[in-house]
Structure 1
Amino acid sequence: MPTATFAIEGMSCAACVGRVERTLKAVPGVTGAQANLVAATALVEFDTPADAPAMAEALRRAGYPPSEIETRLDVEGMTCASCVGRVERTLKAAPGVTLAEVNLATRSARVRYYQGLTDPATLAARVTGAGYEATPHRDHATKPQDRQAGETGALARRAVVSAILSIPVVVLAMGAHAIPTFHHWIMGTLGLQTSWLIQFVLTALVLFGPGRPFLSHGVPALMRGAPEMNSLVALGSLAAFAYSSVATFAPSLLPETARDVYFEAAATIVTLILVGRMLEARAKGRAGEAIRRLVGLRPDTARVERDGDVAEVAVEALHPGDVVRLAPGERVAVDGVVVEGHGWIDESMLTGEPAPVEKAEGAGVTGGTVNGAAALTYRVTATGADTVLSRIIRLVEEAQAGKLPVQALVDRITFWFVPAVMATSLLTFVLWLALGPAPALSHALVAAIAVLIIACPCAMGLATPVSILVGTGRGAERGVLFRRGDALQRLSEVGIVAFDKTGTLTEGHPKLTEIEPAEGVNADDVLRLAASAEVRSEHPLARAIVAAATARGLALIDASGVEARPGRGLAARVAGHDILIGNARALGEAGIECESLAGRGIALAEQGRTPILVAIDGRAAALLAVADPIKPGAAEAIAALHRAGLKTAMISGDTQATARAVAGRLGIDEVRAEVLPEGKVAALRDIAGSGPVAFVGDGINDAPALAAADVGIAMGTGTDVAIESAEVVLMGGDPGAVATAITLSRATMRNIRQNLFWAFGYNVVLIPVAAGLVFPLGGPLLSPMLAAGAMALSSVFVVTNALRLRRA
């Protein structure tokens, strides 16, 4: 009887154990269940109709969801969309697998499964058993591998050998047809039979030498009842070779009018397709260049202070806490914090922005960036997979391995494509044999082989993933990271872009500009008490107040009972006084009269400043005004979005007057002000009435809106929470990168549509031509050699077209 072991989340006591066991036993088909509290697992014995999804759903409803793990596999041997579908079906059939997405361009599979039911090695073995060599993915950040170069080199060698062997075959066959004198020379020297024997030997060498991968992959797939691209090539070339061999060695088996050979077709088919795959592999290698460039940014060694000396060690040997010496012009090895020196570092690889960034003691440095003219010393804070560069590479790889919603249609079509082509080829053969002119058998063979060879599921399989590969790589070069591939499609469809204000459109480092105390109140006393209350707050406005008090030399006092009130302000007790800091609404809710100061605050807000009211012991004491400078590129960013035909909006917790002043200076179309963090989601839904909306933010309070938007875009200079909630990350702080991301997503989707149009249009138009439908109307009967050339060029066209995105 089958068994399954689930890793269970949420069990904390014996009662949980009993509930898990009862839940599993209630699933039809489950005969036994034993939960283990210590190991956090449940062993289940079951039979039909029970299966892993049904048991997992029952556990989830009971509040004990089974743990899921996501892994990646590297898969070799896939050549077309049919291969992709087959690998996906193989993985989805594995026990416990809940998701399987296979990418032809990156030759990888993303798999999610219930922990305990399977593992990466078992999944890889299942794929290998289906005819495709698979291994668990190895992190490129720790061990770079350039498989593409090896594949391109191997294909180039095969193509050259195949061409050397095929040229004499083509010369003997086609030369005799094209040049009568050459035909007479062959007949007078070699003789027709000897010529055919030479062609037989050379073609056999082509098929079973350079062309062997087509046979070794295609024939087994055919025998399993799961034909793919290699099967079409194998069938076409073997059919031409077998027919020609019969005509050479047993001509009496064929009608006299059909005794001809097509060795040149079989040899040329293999050669042209090898050449096409070589060009395709070379182009795909260029498509993945961005990842390899990122991997290559990390130096191999670093100079580390050890036991009073400086030793050069491998980067892999570095540990957090090590102190590294950084020479002028040298690349930073891993992430760290400067402990000595002052200089400038080029972080363009990280942010896409060319201006170097100033670094002094306490400033963070990132592995892969380039030091300027000053020598620096830094302490290592992260190594290996924990570094920013490694996380960037991981994000890009995950996005490149994803599937767009448009790919679902392609998958449904390609599932039936190869069987449909084989059926069309058989029908073509039968119809030509029954209705075609003499020699009917030869015409039928040529047309059937041409149909097999000209069909190109490769182009359909590559149309989407290769564009994602190039587009996301180009984004990484420009400081735009797509955390998931499907964000590319959704971002291209947005009609409105909503921004948070503070830290996104503004610098996020406000400065105190005015202090207007109430009558009888000392300005310095108010500032000292307010700064003492705000000293532990991370809010940008709080930091501005503290910075102003420090600049005036005011001694701060320890505060107690500090209570943050999101969207309203802060309350605390300082030096025996009850302090309330916030907006007019906060003071009004506390029953404090502040009309005169609030009126002055409105005037300041209309100038783009943020008014902050301070109450001491239940009485309005002062009005503080804080200004947050607008980022230099913000106005141009909004203008660029408008030029792209997009509407813009701003959602802010700031006052109406301040928010509208900032929006007016930037040219933003719509403003939602005085919005509490929890209200940003509702504001987004209201704005989204006109179509899909993207939200751009950087703070913790932006996380719900980033997650709720159709596309969340986080500034990489913001908090980790915001970045984790977003689907697109802008590594720099420039809001202009939003327009870059949208432009790139539109260009990528346009490129995908072009590829799909070509891939489907190519097959729709040329398969009927290959079948000979235009022959009765005076059109050509397509040669299998031309069909092979057209098929090879279709894949090369798709990949080459995608490469144009490198200039986007």
Structure 2
Amino acid sequence: MTHTYKITGMSCNGCRTKVEKTLNAIDGLEATVTLEPPIATITMEQHIATTVFQEALSAAGNYSITMDMGVGNEGVPIEVKSCCNATTKHNHTNAPVVKVAAGKYYCPMFCEGDKVYDKAGDCPVCGMDLVQQPLPQQAVQYTCPMHPEIIENEAGDCPICGMDLVPMEPTATSENKTYDDLMRKMKIAIAFTLPIFIIAMSDMIPGNPLMKIMDMQTWNWVQFGLSIPVVFYAAWMFFVRAYKSVITWNLNMFTLIGIGAGVAFLFSVFGLFFPDFFPSEFKTEAGTVHLYFEATTVILTLVLLGQLLEARAHSRTSGAIKELMKLAPTKATLVVDGIDKVISIQDIKRGDLLRVKPGDKIPVDGKITKGEATIDESMISGEPIPVDKILDDAVISGTINGTKSFVMVAEKIGSETLLSQIVQMVTDASRSRAPIQKLADRIAKYFVPIVVGVSVTTFFVWAVFGPDPALVYGFINAIAVLIIACPCALGLATPMSVMVGVGKGAQSGVLIKNAEALEIMNTVDVLITDKTGTITEGKPSVEKVYSNANNEDELLQMIASLNQYSEHPLAQAVVQFAKAKTIALIEVNDFDSVTGMGVTGTVGDKKVSLGNKKLMDQVQATIAPDLESKLIAEQKLGKTVSYIAVDAVAVGFVTIKDAIKGTSANAIKELLAQGIEVIMLTGDNENTAKAVANELHLTSFIAGCLPQDKLNEIKRLQAEGKIVAMAGDGINDAPALAQANVGIAMGTGTDVAIESAKITLVKGDLQGIVKAKKLSHAVMKNIHQNLFFAFFYNVIGIPVAAGVLFPVFGWLLSPMIAALAMSFSSVSVIANALRLRGLKL
């Protein structure tokens, strides 16, 4: 029998030769090993367990061997025939189809036919890892973003407000479905509405060239044909929602859209098929009735645009959770009796020993049992400096190991890990936002029944008291009331201001995710801000090198030369500082990195040590009282300070700080002047946090914050009635950003922070918050103006359309004039919104 195995740990041809020689030393097999790809083809007389190969390779070096299973184009294991009883290589064709129950484990080589196992393990025949049949996807439930009490098992519309229901949990297939569907309908609506609009407005074109092609009656039939895809496909959902709103008596904007556009369409169809039913006052010179297919389609298309903008925001709500999930590793290296075995993250149990190799993500929460490491914990702490870890130190799932290998014991697995808790916090915070009923819907709640009542009253008054033909007059005037009341401008009032405002913000480096962020930002009275990467630069830099004996440049040359061999960010900061001062680096001998303490080495003929007090004690360096007092003074300012010792005598120190951004002070000063409290929550130490808070005159600060601490503080402030904005840049800030009334992410931060936030500052600059506040105020003021324009023509036009001026002046408002008035209100809204383009931020 012949099997193919994957070998890891080979870096050169010497490794390949060593692995091949080691495998061939095992009795009963013949092995051929290649470097590219790194595989071993082994032919055996009888089955030999993979563990036997691993024991031999582990004794030879840091190599591991696993069964190499074929992978198809979609990343799914290829079904293969059992080769355990054959003498040829794998045949990846004509694989048997074996049905395996969900959740059960089976051998991908089908050595034992359809036999399955309840637990993970190795195939007793070929030794290959058993594979679990995927569990069925959990049923997705849907909720309304404005009414979270609505929970349905299928996608659809909210029975209260008519909005699209969104998944309660993110799914790969559903998150963009609504947006894609609306975009497709939007393209169709525009394609058919534009020619209708051109035909209807042809009278305004000098010479009316369209009439030279066909007469108006024929063009009316063309409009009718073009309107059918818009009404019965692209915008049909609005009529369905309008119907639901009526039968449930949850009247909303869709009620107005359905009634207004529906009546306009039915009126036009009726006028097209039965023109003789209408009096001459409502006919053109050619004898055709004024039709309103263009009003119908334009209304529906513009409302569809507003829905598309909302769907775009909803499609991104699960982005933060997806980014967080990407941090979790899918595999881990289990250590059993000294042998490494790659397993799924789902198979880890408490108490398991796991090997974490250089550059690997830590699979679960636990503590180090063997070895030491430098771990990048910025995704949890938000701090840029990796943390040195030694025996019994805790390690966190998703954080990244440095250049050393260590063994850890699993203590928290699955949903217990900190990363999983952060994911859950983001999910909960995203779903716990207070629903904001849109202003248009609140108005429509009263406006709809009033308009419908006026329309019905108009019909009966004209039918009873009007001149002949009374019923026709009543019907036409009732339609005029509905058309002029149709909320075309109401649907545009908010989206137009938001679109222009968002575009203006983008030009100024302020990215707005949705209209809700702009609305709430205008009322914010507390700003919570992270420190590292938000107020500060987010990267360590050398502030100064102090020497009490040697020349400072000479001392800098020594420590920079020493640090050139270290990958630690603090070391790199020293090296960059020296390079900026054009100081040449020299050779170092006997370099040694002492975990958690610092570095040592021989520079020239001098023994140089750079690190903390523990390192000074270890090298038995003497420290002058004057030098120590200066160093302590620096530490009290919250800076990172390292001793410099030459030949066992401390001769100076280097101070490293994370510099405050140049714009932070002015931005915070302006926000405080506007009456906004600015509170800093940071994972950094008390001294550093206090120094930054005092320098910037912050309202207050809290140091040593974990992600849940930031989240709880925001909840506490919200419980006091505060409107809270949160600015941050790290993954640890994601739950707080989601919980805050407005989350503000630094564009220089992580994707997770940006996805969790409603506002992103491209430049990673607090001055952007000042711009966002100013933009928010301007946009909200503009929206209120737009709402005035949206109703001004309606309030004036509805009584006229009802015929109140007829007894005195003999004036009636035909549906055509009603549509024109409605158009004027839309033009006013658009023109007013465009004024935001001139806003100076």
> TM-score, structure 2 length as denominator?
0.50
Check the 8 A contact 1:559/1:573 in 2, yes or no. yes
- Deviation for aligned residue 1:771: 2.0
Aligned length, in residue pairs: 546
2:327 is matched with which residue?
none
2:722 is matched with which residue?
691
1:759 is matched with which residue?
790
Give 2:223's match in structure 1, choosing from 205, 210, 213.
210
Distance (Å, rounded) in 2 between the aligned partners of 1:557 and 1:151? 78
Deviates more, 1:544-553 or 1:732-741: 544-553
2:754 is matched with which residue?
723
2:771 is matched with which residue?
740
Going from structure 1 to structure 2, the CA distance change for 1:600 and 1:67 (only over 3 Å counts) comes to: farther
Check the 8 A contact 2:142/2:153 in 1, yes or no. no
Going from structure 1 to structure 2, the CA distance change for 1:160 and 1:706 (only over 3 Å counts) comes to: closer
- Aligned letter for 2:195? A
Going from structure 1 to structure 2, the CA distance change for 1:449 and 1:558 (only over 3 Å counts) comes to: same
Greater share of residues in helix:
1
Give 1:97's match in structure 2, choosing from 126, 151, 155.
155
Check the 8 A contact 1:218/1:232 in 2, yes or no. no
SS of equivalent to 1:729: strand
- Deviation for aligned residue 1:556: 8.4
SS of equivalent to 1:493: coil
Deviations along 1:543-580, whole A, 9 cap, x unmatched? 43454578574748766674xxxxxxx55786899x99
2:502 is matched with which residue?
472
Check the 8 A contact 2:271/2:291 in 1, yes or no. no
2:527 is matched with which residue?
497
Bigger radius of gyration: 2
- Aligned letter for 2:282? Y
SS of equivalent to 1:717: coil
Going from structure 1 to structure 2, the CA distance change for 1:156 and 1:776 (only over 3 Å counts) comes to: closer
Distance (Å, rounded) in 2 between the aligned partners of 1:66 and 1:283? 29
Give 1:788's match in structure 2, choosing from 792, 801, 819.
819
1:712 is matched with which residue?
743
Query: Is 1:612 aligned to 2:641, yes or no?
Result: yes
Distance (Å, rounded) in 1 between the aligned partners of 2:638 and 2:496? 48
Distance (Å, rounded) in 1 between the aligned partners of 2:810 and 2:801? 11
Check the 8 A contact 1:459/1:794 in 2, yes or no. yes
Query: Is 1:450 aligned to 2:474, yes or no?
Result: no
Going from structure 1 to structure 2, the CA distance change for 1:214 and 1:404 (only over 3 Å counts) comes to: farther
2:134 is matched with which residue?
40
Deviates more, 1:443-452 or 1:787-796: 443-452
SS of equivalent to 1:649: strand
Distance (Å, rounded) in 1 between the aligned partners of 2:176 and 2:739? 36
Deviations along 1:583-625, whole A, 9 cap, x unmatched? 99xx9xxxxx99987864564468x672436699xx9977542
- Aligned letter for 2:222? G
- Deviation for aligned residue 1:717: 1.9
Give 1:638's match in structure 2, choosing from 653, 656, 668.
668
Going from structure 1 to structure 2, the CA distance change for 1:422 and 1:706 (only over 3 Å counts) comes to: closer
SS of equivalent to 1:209: helix
Check the 8 A contact 1:152/1:281 in 2, yes or no. no
Distance (Å, rounded) in 2 between the aligned partners of 1:668 and 1:124? 42
Distance (Å, rounded) in 2 between the aligned partners of 1:494 and 1:557? 58
Distance (Å, rounded) in 1 between the aligned partners of 2:530 and 2:172? 44
5+ residue gaps, structure 1, are 1-10, 16-36, 43-63, 71-84, 128-132, 138-145, 169-197, 248-258, 292-402, 563-569, 588-592
Deviations along 1:160-192, whole A, 9 cap, x unmatched? 446579999xxxxxxxxxxxxxxxxxxxxxxxx
Distance (Å, rounded) in 1 between the aligned partners of 2:827 and 2:571? 58
- Deviation for aligned residue 1:752: 2.9
SS of equivalent to 1:631: coil
Distance (Å, rounded) in 1 between the aligned partners of 2:169 and 2:542? 54
Check the 8 A contact 2:202/2:208 in 1, yes or no. no
SS of equivalent to 1:494: coil
Query: Which residues in structure 2 correspond to 1:526-675 (within 5 Å)?
Result: 528=559, 535-538=566-569, 543-545=572-574, 547=576, 553=585, 555=588, 562=595, 570=596, 600=630, 603-604=633-634, 610-612=639-641, 624-642=654-672, 644-653=674-683, 659-673=689-703
- Deviation for aligned residue 1:68: 8.7
Distance (Å, rounded) in 2 between the aligned partners of 1:527 and 1:498? 42
- Deviation for aligned residue 1:152: 7.6
1:302 is matched with which residue?
none
Query: Is 1:481 aligned to 2:575, yes or no?
Result: no
Distance (Å, rounded) in 2 between the aligned partners of 1:679 and 1:120? 30
- Aligned letter for 1:435? F
Give the % identical residues.
32
Deviations along 1:514-543, whole A, 9 cap, x unmatched? 4568999x99699859976994444xx564
Going from structure 1 to structure 2, the CA distance change for 1:676 and 1:731 (only over 3 Å counts) comes to: same
- Deviation for aligned residue 1:157: 2.8
Distance (Å, rounded) in 2 between the aligned partners of 1:67 and 1:407? 25
Deviations along 1:271-313, whole A, 9 cap, x unmatched? 795599499979989x99xx9xxxxxxxxxxxxxxxxxxxxxx
Deviates more, 1:507-516 or 1:776-785: 776-785
Query: Is 1:801 aligned to 2:832, yes or no?
Result: yes
Give 2:199's match in structure 1, choosing from 137, 154, 158.
158
Distance (Å, rounded) in 1 between the aligned partners of 2:613 and 2:723? 33
Going from structure 1 to structure 2, the CA distance change for 1:237 and 1:67 (only over 3 Å counts) comes to: closer
Check the 8 A contact 1:770/1:781 in 2, yes or no. yes
Distance (Å, rounded) in 2 between the aligned partners of 1:514 and 1:461? 60
Check the 8 A contact 2:557/2:578 in 1, yes or no. no
> TM-score, structure 1 length as denominator?
0.52
Check the 8 A contact 1:148/1:281 in 2, yes or no. no
Check the 8 A contact 2:542/2:574 in 1, yes or no. yes
Distance (Å, rounded) in 2 between the aligned partners of 1:612 and 1:268? 86
Distance (Å, rounded) in 1 between the aligned partners of 2:649 and 2:721? 43
Distance (Å, rounded) in 2 between the aligned partners of 1:710 and 1:465? 20
Check the 8 A contact 1:506/1:631 in 2, yes or no. yes
SS of equivalent to 2:573: helix
Check the 8 A contact 1:66/1:115 in 2, yes or no. no
Check the 8 A contact 2:745/2:754 in 1, yes or no. yes
SS of equivalent to 2:775: helix
Distance (Å, rounded) in 2 between the aligned partners of 1:155 and 1:114? 41
Query: Which residues in structure 2 correspond to 1:73-472 (within 5 Å)?
Result: 96-97=154-155, 112=167, 135=184, 154-161=195-202, 204-205=217-218, 207-210=220-223, 212-213=225-226, 226=243, 227-237=258-268, 245-246=276-277, 260-264=280-284, 270=291, 277=298, 406=436, 408=438, 410-411=440-441, 424-436=454-466, 440-441=470-471, 443-472=473-502
Distance (Å, rounded) in 2 between the aligned partners of 1:284 and 1:66? 31
- Deviation for aligned residue 1:760: 4.8
SS of equivalent to 1:490: helix
Distance (Å, rounded) in 1 between the aligned partners of 2:649 and 2:288? 92
- Aligned letter for 2:573? A
Distance (Å, rounded) in 2 between the aligned partners of 1:743 and 1:767? 37
2:34 is matched with which residue?
none
- Aligned letter for 1:730? L
Check the 8 A contact 1:456/1:795 in 2, yes or no. no
- Aligned letter for 2:283? F
Check the 8 A contact 1:165/1:202 in 2, yes or no. no
SS of equivalent to 2:662: coil
- Deviation for aligned residue 1:682: 5.0
- Deviation for aligned residue 1:720: 3.5
- Deviation for aligned residue 1:211: 5.3
- Deviation for aligned residue 1:450: 1.6
- Deviation for aligned residue 1:409: 5.5
Distance (Å, rounded) in 2 between the aligned partners of 1:283 and 1:135? 11
Deviates more, 1:528-537 or 1:154-163: 528-537
SS of equivalent to 2:223: coil
